[in-house]
């Protein structure tokens, strides 16, 4: 079908069937199918896995990774990375506990101070990346050590405990039968998913990731956007730190160690290219859920923890291979 | 044709949404330079990619020396003696000239019972190959990354010869070369022809075709149009074969009413390439900025656009002094900039036409920061029509477009922002004849009908002379001449561009 005047093909609107098919062979669609297959398989191995209680409990455990994975998706889409999120989580937790217990802040103020210090830590990352031009990998690798060191220095290896009852509502309580923090994650996923997919901010992030110079030459405020997402990353790591403390009832300086790798694994599994330019929040969240369910299901099936890691690694590679295969077939057709 | 070394017959190739080649044919004789020309998107690239094994034709056959061959990948074409010199050079910058030439087939010797690279033989072999090409001033031990573009290209040619190539494909080989490098390339091409190597030569520059080629084949929109002996054709005939119409007026300049001063810069400074620059551009006026490569034209444009903010001096828009320290501020003030490097600065190639055309006007296609794809699509469709962009639709990736159409997308991005001033840096470089005259017509129309002020940087003097109401000339970061449309001649401008005498700047700007 071509336009008579210009000789150009006229695009027609896709039918519902085509749309469904398109959705199914999208990155997220493929991943979702892999997740369903994994869940069904795990359900046959143990009857403790596919229960409402267990699944909600897993939702509790994955909230921290999920919250941090949202800004990480933004950052990786721009072609950057933030390795310091685990240390920022730890720093936030320590500042929270320390200002409350040692400095005698009211607990509410201590929470705000903790999250603010996490936000500040992210802002410092962004400032050096944007103003001084330090590559994100180097900058956040440095602050990964620096912020953890700060946390340890402030805490002097003591842990803060003895929080009042209301403080545990977020990390251990429920609201309408669902773990409180899971509500927070669900809301954040919806809001920031829409922000990425539909707003000018989201568009700018994709543009920066595909061609930073081109984005700059189009008049986009590249530096401002980058500064924002690293600050946002610090903020979310701070919120995750607060939830973490509330969930485990204590504050220790090694909290969140290594969480950056879980987060990055989930983001990349979710179809975000490590080279920037592509990715989505739905993909990321499926990645987070898939990893958490595999961990839990395998453990419940009696698989040892060493073997669990091996299986998860294999599933990651498998998922990426299947996705690459389908996406390249799709490009050809 | 019995003396054909390579013959392609009945070649058909489809891509999603595009019928790239339709029953095309092409043949190359032993020891000839055969030029392949056509507008961007005519199918030249597809044709050479089929010859070099990158693509496989849907139907049709390839005969090499009378025998039917099929290349399922570039390696097989290589083995059959077909080598390609790409525009984006396929060399390893960290390795030496000799290592690059013998990459993958280095001479070896036995040492300690192992096969080891015979470095001495390799260096001698490399030097011998270069000597055969009459290249004597190239150190085979030098890292390729330290060489200039011309020398790198010579290394690529030597590499192809080290593989005993019988057919050499050159895709726009002069695009990035300086004048003297071009001369040397031509003499190498002639040398190779004498030795019986066949050369498929792709170029946008018709004068090169006449200087170098024996025969020329023209493609248009995937159709084979014809093959001519160069001695029996003319530039006019080739152009009309390429575009399917005769271009009567190459530079369709309309008479425009020149209005008020839109842009005025005073003593703009950012050494070394922008020194004490003062000039103005009026509404409806096209001001051409001429100069040699490296004279500071693009840098001055980027000072105005805020990419390289000025260290001192004033920028006035519509008489109001403004401060521009980043591109976003320039855009806010109504300045658009079509940059020289389309691939890296102008476009986001991985994104769609729709996303590219709205890139500078996101606030216009969005409501409360939410982007409306419907509005974007309307905008993109409007651009596609206005600039006759050849695409399958607004959601086609910019990458998939030909060079000329990519350039139109960049132009449409800035037109969408309804600028007061449009800076166009080499607006038609690497663009085919048809798209070129379309862009020229559009520029002229925008100036005459909408009163747009245009500052056009170009290295092509005919373009400068054909399009400009006024011509400014830069040399070594300074403005060194100004001519009205009536005064300007090739000689005057070229003299101002290259003259060694110190610039007389006193009368420049005084008349503005």
pLDDT (tens digit per residue) in B410-426: 999 999 999 999 999 99
For the segment A91-128, what is each residue's pLDDT rounded down to a tens digit?
Answer: 999 999 999 988 889 999 999 999 999 999 999 999 99
Strand B167-171, strand B198-202: pairing: parallel
Which residue in this structure is represented by tokens 């405020």? A221
- At A143, is the pLDDT very low, low, confident or very high (cuts 50, 70, 90)? very high
Q: Does B372 touch chain A (CB under 8 A)?
A: no
What confidence tens digit (pLDDT) does each residue in B193-204 have?
A: 998 999 999 987
Contact predicate B293/B483, CB 8 Å:
no
Of A98, A70, A118, A107, the closest CA to residue A229 belongs to A70
CA A70 to chain centre: 4
Query: Checking DSSP bridges between strand B215-220 and strand B59-64, what pairing results, if any?
Result: unpaired
Chain A CB contacts of B328 below 8 Å? 219-221
Distance separating alpha carbons of residues A260 and A256, to the nearest angstrom? 8
The residues near B316 (Cβ < 8 Å, ≥ 6 apart) are: B261, B263, B264, B265, B266, B322
Mutate to test the interface with B, among A2, A211, A218 (most CBs of B within 10 A): A218
Q: Are A185 and A266 a contacting pair, CB within 8 Å? A: no
* b/e B202-231 (16+ beta carbons within 10 angstroms → b): bbbebebbbebbbbbbbbbbbbbbebbebe
Is A316 domain-assigned? yes
Under the banding of pLDDT at 50, 70 and 90, the label for residue B279 is very high
For the ranges A9-13, B1-5, B359-363, which has the lowest average pLDDT? Answer: A9-13
CA-to-CA distance for B460 and B462, rounded, in angstroms?
6
Please give the backbone phi and psi of residue B339, each rounded to the nearest 5 degrees, phi first.
-75, 170
CA dihedral A45, A46, A49, A50 (to 10 degrees): 80
Q: Is residue A74 part of a domain?
A: yes
Record the tokens describing residue A236, joined without a space.
């979310």
Q: Residue B510 above 70 pLDDT?
A: no
Partner residue facing B344 (CB), from A200, A214, A277? A214
Q: Please report the pLDDT score of residue A99 as a whole number.
A: 92
Q: Choose the closest CB to A219 out of B328, B346, B351.
A: B328
What residue in B sits closest to A331 (Cα-Cα)? B16
Chain A segment 214-233 residues within 8 A of B by beta carbon are 214-221
pLDDT score at B245: 54
Residue of B88, B229, B98, B254 whose CA lies nearest to B171: B88
Contact predicate A234/A121, CB 8 Å: yes
Rounded Cα–Cα distance for residues A185 and A60 (Å): 10
What average pLDDT does the segment B23-38 reach?
Answer: 92
Across the range A179-195, mean pLDDT stands at 95
| Per-residue pLDDT at A330 | 65
* Domain-embedded: residue A41: no
pTM beyond 0.95, yes or no: no
- pLDDT-derived band at B500, boundaries 50, 70, 90: low
Domain of residue A223 covers 52-320
Contacts of A204 in chain B (CB under 8 A): 362
State how far the Cα of B328 lies from the Cα of A216, in Å rounded to an integer. Answer: 8
Alpha carbon distance B404, A189 (integer Å): 41
Instruction: Please state whether beta strands B33-37 and B198-202 pair in parallel, antiparallel, or not at all (unpaired).
Output: parallel
Distance from CA of B336 to the nearest CA of A (A): 9
DSSP H helix total and E strand total for chain B: 16, 24
Contacts of residue A214, defined as CB under 8 A and 6 or more positions apart, other chains included, come to A207, B344, B345, B346, B347, B348, B349
Q: Angle B85-B338-B252 (CA atoms, 0-180°, nearest 5)?
A: 90
Residue B473: strand pairing partners = B290, B481
The structure tokens listed for B236 are 């006019």
Best-predicted range by mean pLDDT among A146-150, B3-7, B153-157?
A146-150
Q: How far is it, in rounded angstroms, from Cα B245 to Cα B242?
A: 8
- Give the residue from B302, B385, B393 showing the smallest Cα distance to B355: B393
* Cα–Cα dist A67/A186, whole Å: 9
Average pLDDT, integer, range B265-294: 91
Q: How far apart are the first and last CA of chain B?
A: 64
For residue A4, pLDDT beyond 50: no
pLDDT of amino acid A20: 73
A314 close contact with B: CB closer than 8 A: no
| d(C-alpha B186, C-alpha A162), whole Å | 84
Domain assignment present for residue A38? The answer is no
Which of A200, A210, A220, A227 has its CA nearest to residue A279? A210
Q: Scan residues 459-488 of B and list those with Cβ closer than 8 Å to A.
A: none
- Give the closest of B16, B337, B371 to A199, CB-based: B371
ipTM above 0.90, yes or no: no
- Closest among A152, A125, A127 to A140, alpha carbons compared: A125
Task: State the Cα–Cα distance between residues A190 and A195, nearest whole angstrom.
Answer: 9
Q: How many domains does chain A have?
A: 1
Over the stretch A249-274, which tens digit does the pLDDT of each residue have? 888 888 999 899 999 999 998 888 88
User: Taking CB atoms and an 8 Å cutoff, what residues of chain A touch B392?
Assistant: 8-9, 11
**What would the two tokens of residue A139 be?**
């900058």
CA–CA gap between residue B455 and residue B287 (Å, rounded): 5
Nearest CA of chain B to the CA of A275: how many Å?
13
In the predicted structure, residue B327 carries a pLDDT above the cut 50 = yes
Which residue in the block uniquely carries the two structure tokens 């009211």?
A106
CB contact under 8 A, B359 and A207: yes
pLDDT bracket for residue B506 (50, 70, 90): very low
Asked whether the predicted pLDDT for residue B303 surpasses 90, the reply is yes
d(C-alpha B403, C-alpha B413), whole Å: 15
- Phi then psi for B350, rounded to 5 degrees? -75, -15
Query: Quick check: is A42 in a domain?
Result: no
* Residue B489 banded pLDDT, cuts 50, 70, 90: confident
Does pLDDT of A1 surpass 50?
no
Provide the β-strand partners of residue B96. B143
Contact in structure between B217 and B32 (CB atoms under 8 Å): no
Judging contacts by C-beta atoms under 8 Å, the chain B residues touching residue A220 are 328, 359
Q: Measuring CA to CA, which residue among A205, A214, A6 is closest to residue B381?
A: A6
Place of tokens 């070896």: B108
Q: Is the pLDDT of residue B88 over 70?
A: no
Q: Which of A11-20, A178-187, B300-309 has the lowest mean pLDDT?
A: A11-20
CA pair distance B358, A203, nearest whole angstrom:
10
Q: Give residue B146's pLDDT band: very low, low, confident or very high (50, 70, 90).
A: confident
The Cα-based distances of B288 to B131, B163, B483, B485 in angstroms read 43, 46, 10, 10
Determine the Cα–Cα distance for residues A87 and A238; give it in Å rounded to an integer. 10
Tell whether A2 is covered by a domain: no
CB neighbourhood size of B312 (10 A): 10
Mean pLDDT over B322-339 rounds to 94
**Above pLDDT 70, what percent of chain B?**
94
pLDDT grade for A21, boundaries at 50, 70 and 90: confident
Confidence tier at B137 by pLDDT (50, 70, 90): confident
A262/A287 Cα distance (integer angstroms): 10
Interface check for A158 against chain B (CB to CB < 8 A): the answer is no
Residue with tokens 């920037």: A276
Q: Six-digit token pair at B164?
A: 């005993």
> In this predicted model, what pLDDT tens digit does every residue of B230-261 receive, in sequence order?
999 888 788 778 776 544 456 777 788 888 99
For residues B355-379, give the mean pLDDT.
Answer: 93
Q: How far apart are the first and last CA of chain A?
A: 18
Q: Say how far apart CA A85 and CA A68 lie, in whole Å.
A: 7
In this prediction, residue B504 carries a pLDDT of: 44
The CATH number of whichever domain residue A235 belongs to comes to: 1.10.3470
Q: In 10 A of CB A151, how many CB atoms? A: 27
* Domains recognised in chain B with CATH numbers: 4-243 (3.40.50.300), 247-334+419-512 (3.40.50.300), 350-409 (no CATH)
pLDDT value at residue A151: 92
Cβ distance B331 to A213 less than 8 Å, yes or no, reads no
Mean per-residue pLDDT of chain B: 86
pLDDT (tens digit per residue) in A43-78:
888 888 888 888 898 999 999 999 999 999 999 999
Q: Which residue has the higher pLDDT, B84 or B18?
A: B84
Q: Which residues neighbour A28 within 8 Å (Cβ) at sequence distance 6 or greater?
A: A270, A271, A280, A282, A283, A286
Least confident of A318-327, B121-130, B212-221: A318-327
Residue B1: pLDDT band (50, 70, 90) is: very low
Average pLDDT over residues B57-86: 89
Decide if B497 touches A, using CB distance below 8 A. Answer: no
Q: For A272-305, what is each residue's pLDDT tens digit?
A: 888 889 899 999 999 999 999 988 988 888 888 8
């Amino acid at each position: 079908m071509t336009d008579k005047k210009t000789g150009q093909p006229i695009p027609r609107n896709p039918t519902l069937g085509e749309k469904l098919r398109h959705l199914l062979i999208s990155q997220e669609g493929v991943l979702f199918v892999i997740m369903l297959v994994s869940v069904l398989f795990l359900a046959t191995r143990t009857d403790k896995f596919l229960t409402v209680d267990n699944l909600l409990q897993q939702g509790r455990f994955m909230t921290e990774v999920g919250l941090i994975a949202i800004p990480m998706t933004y950052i990786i889409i721009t072609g950057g990375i933030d390795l310091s999120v685990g240390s920022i989580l730890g720093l936030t937790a320590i500042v929270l506990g320390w200002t409350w217990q040692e400095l005698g802040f009211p607990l509410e103020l201590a929470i705000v101070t903790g999250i603010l210090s996490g936000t500040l830590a992210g802002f410092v990352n962004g400032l050096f990346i944007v103003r001084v031009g330090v590559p994100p990998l180097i900058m956040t690798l440095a602050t990964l050590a620096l912020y953890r060191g700060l946390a340890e220095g402030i805490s002097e290896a003591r842990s803060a405990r003895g929080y009042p009852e209301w403080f545990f509502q977020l990390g251990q309580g429920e609201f309408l039968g669902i773990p409180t923090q899971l509500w927070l994650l669900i809301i954040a996923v919806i809001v920031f998913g829409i922000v990425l997919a539909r707003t000018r901010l989201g568009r700018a992030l994709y543009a920066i990731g595909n061609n930073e110079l081109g984005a700059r030459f189009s008049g986009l405020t590249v530096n401002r956007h980058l500064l924002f997402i690293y600050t946002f990353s610090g903020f979310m790591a701070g919120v995750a730190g607060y939830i973490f403390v509330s969930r485990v009832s204590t504050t220790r300086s090694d909290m969140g160690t290594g969480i950056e790798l879980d987060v990055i694994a989930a983001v990349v599994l979710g179809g975000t290219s490590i080279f920037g330019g592509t990715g989505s929040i739905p993909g990321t969240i499926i990645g987070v859920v898939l990893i958490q369910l595999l961990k839990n299901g395998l453990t419940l099936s009696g698989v040892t923890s060493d073997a669990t890691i091996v299986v998860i690694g294999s599933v990651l590679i498998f998922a990426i291979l299947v996705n690459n295969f389908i996406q390249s077939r799709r490009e050809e057709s | 044709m019995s003396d054909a070394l390579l013959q392609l017959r009945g070649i058909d190739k489809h891509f999603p949404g595009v019928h790239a080649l339709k029953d095309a044919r092409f043949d190359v004789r032993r020891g000839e330079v055969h030029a392949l020309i056509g507008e961007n998107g005519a199918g030249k690239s597809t044709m050479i990619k089929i010859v070099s094994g990158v693509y496989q034709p849907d139907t049709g056959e390839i005969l090499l020396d009378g025998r039917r061959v099929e290349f399922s990948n570039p390696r097989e074409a290589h083995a059959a003696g077909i080598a390609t010199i790409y525009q984006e050079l396929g060399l390893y910058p960290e390795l030496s000239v000799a290592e690059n030439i013998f990459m993958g087939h280095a001479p070896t010797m036995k040492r300690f019972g192992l096969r080891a690279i015979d470095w001495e033989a390799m260096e001698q072999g490399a030097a011998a190959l270069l000597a055969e090409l009459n290249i004597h001033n190239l150190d085979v031990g030098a890292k390729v990354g330290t060489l200039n573009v011309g020398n790198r290209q010579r290394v690529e040619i030597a590499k192809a010869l080290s593989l005993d190539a019988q057919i050499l494909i050159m895709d726009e080989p002069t695009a990035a070369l300086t004048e003297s490098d071009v001369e040397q390339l031509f003499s190498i091409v002639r040398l190779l022809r004498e030795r019986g190597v066949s050369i498929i030569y792709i170029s946008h520059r018709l004068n090169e075709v006449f200087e170098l080629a024996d025969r020329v084949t023209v493609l248009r929109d995937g159709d084979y149009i014809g093959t001519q002996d160069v001695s029996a054709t003319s530039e006019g005939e080739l152009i009309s074969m390429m575009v399917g119409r005769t271009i009567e007026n190459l530079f369709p300049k309309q008479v425009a009413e020149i209005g008020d001063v839109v842009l005025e810069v005073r003593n703009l400074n950012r050494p070394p390439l922008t020194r004490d620059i003062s000039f103005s551009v009026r509404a409806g006026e096209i001001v051409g900025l001429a100069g040699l490569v490296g004279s500071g034209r693009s840098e001055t444009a980027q000072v105005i656009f805020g990419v390289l903010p000025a260290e001192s001096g004033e920028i006035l828009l519509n008489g109001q002094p403004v401060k521009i320290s980043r591109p976003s501020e320039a855009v806010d003030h109504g300045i658009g900039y079509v940059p020289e490097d389309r691939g890296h600065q102008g476009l986001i190639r991985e994104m769609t036409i729709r996303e590219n055309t709205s890139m500078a006007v996101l606030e216009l296609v969005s409501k409360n920061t939410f982007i409306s794809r419907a509005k974007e699509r309307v905008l993109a469709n409007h651009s596609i029509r206005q600039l006759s962009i050849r695409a399958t639709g607004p959601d086609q990736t910019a990458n998939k477009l030909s060079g000329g159409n990519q350039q139109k997308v960049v132009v449409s991005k800035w037109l969408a922002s309804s600028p007061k001033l449009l800076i166009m840096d080499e607006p038609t470089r690497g663009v085919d004849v048809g798209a070129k005259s379309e862009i020229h017509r559009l520029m002229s129309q925008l100036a005459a009908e909408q009163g747009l002020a245009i500052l056009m940087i170009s290295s092509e003097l005919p373009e400068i002379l054909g399009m400009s109401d006024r011509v400014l000339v830069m040399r070594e970061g300074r403005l060194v001449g100004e001519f009205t449309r009536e005064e300007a001649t090739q000689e005057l401008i070229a003299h101002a561009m290259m003259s060694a005498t110190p610039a007389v700047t006193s009368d420049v700007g005084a008349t503005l």
